[in-house]
Structure 1
Amino acid sequence: MIKEKIGVVGAGKIGSAILRGVIRSGLVQKHQAMASDVSQTLRQAVAKQLGIKVTPNNAEVCAFADIVILAVKPQILDPVVKEIAKGIGKTKLLVSVAAGVPLARIESLLAKGARVVRVMPNIPCVVGAGASCYAGGSSASAKDLEKVGAILDSFGIGLPVEEKYLDAVTGLSGSGPAYVFLFIESLADGGVQMGLSRDVALKLALQTVYGSARLALESGKHLAELREEVTSPGGTTIAGLYALEKGKMRGTVMEAVLRATRRSQALGKGES
């Protein structure tokens, strides 16, 4: 548990997931959390689900919180940061989860010496299974980074990296859930093609991916070793793997990460 109060500016999927994580994990109590959003619907939903204070006023959140989490879209980040800059000052810790927006850009909109940490979360954080990375700005302390790590660990895992790698994180874990969803769909489609009902095929595909990820996490074995354990000489699995290799699955997935990373870099430079 931490003693600081946490405020979230932007109570959408990611913002509300962060609040849900820190409260349900016991990292903070309900009275230590507050959220702001322009949408009355989102405010009411968060207040009902989590039992915390909500407001349409971003400045009110800044006045309340010690740690302010900025969970707004990159396109509106600049005006929002300018609006709350005075409230942040040098005493509050600002945590940005806006994809592709570099620390230098955020710091340029704040007082000199403002403490900023940039985070790249992903959408599974809404079910407490997020994969996030974070990097500190020029004035962020080791204690600041430790607190951000604890927040991220409350709804998944949080790993510290240098900021220059956050675009790659975006391409891998940020966009990665969409790649996995597509793979699950394709796996289920293959089952349907072979005569399984859609319901059975989808349940099998989902559980297969879930079980495989859990086995990889818990066994500590190399992925190649796990793959070999399923692959018998002349068997069904090697026939399927041959088709995937022939279709250049590995290279295609790597290319997807590369393209998404480059797109994140472009967005960070303000390109449309």
Structure 2
Amino acid sequence: MDLNITPYDLRQMIRKGEFSGNTSGYSQGFVQGNLAIMPQEWANEFLQFCQLNPKPCPVIGMSANPGDFLLPDLGRDVDIRTDLPRYRIYEEGVMTQEVTDVREFWRDDLVTFLLGCSFSFEESLIADGLEVRNITEGVNVPMYRTNIPCRPAGRFSGTTVVSMRPMKPKDAIRAIQICTRFPSVHGAPLHFGNPEDIGISNINAPDFGDAVTINDGEVPVFWACGVTPQVAIEQARPPFCITHSPGHMLVTDIPNSHLAIM
């Protein structure tokens, strides 16, 4: 499939069940978002958690009212129940199933949050001549649980999840310079170098996504990741939540350039 497919056309394919893969590299130029949906009773505490942890949880959109599933601010005909390739259902903090459509689970008290995703800055790295290995190898980006604590808010707490892209040290420095311009999609990396320093014992066994090749002379570069709320949901144990499946994002009609700080 053409990587440059428009966000609208990609969402239509997803809605029809014609695409269920990870969205890294697709619809270049447009913002992709991580998803967290929960009952209204839990929404204010989750919003505070995001505000206290803006690196892994940058809020770029949310539903105006509980029960809203159409999100026009994010794009043409966006239906949050059908327009992501894959969702996760959580009950009491436990992921119980993955599905490609959440209409049967929808409730009138659900509040939707969309969080910035590192896929949005990948095109800027590529445009500057930096390789993004997960795109080169056609796999989902590797993601890891770390020992980096999040600031707690009410019932939500946990540690940060990171995504990783291997680079030569000089390219890692350039990536820091580029990504600093994109605070709404995780900004500059949190760490590069020894993964054990942030609690990752085996770089070849990611907790989410797929392993990628790390060549001689390269170091792993780690960005805060929007899968972090899934760890917080595991800790808080709300009775019901919906998230995206890692790597399977909502692709919006918002240009990436609208999130950049010039």
In the superposition, the TM-score normalised over structure 1's length comes to 0.25
Looking at CA atoms only, which structure, 1 or 2, has the larger radius of gyration? 1
Instruction: Answer 1 or 2: higher relative contact order, Cα 8 Å, separation at least 6.
Output: 2
Greater percentage in strand: 2
In the superposition, the TM-score normalised over structure 2's length comes to 0.26
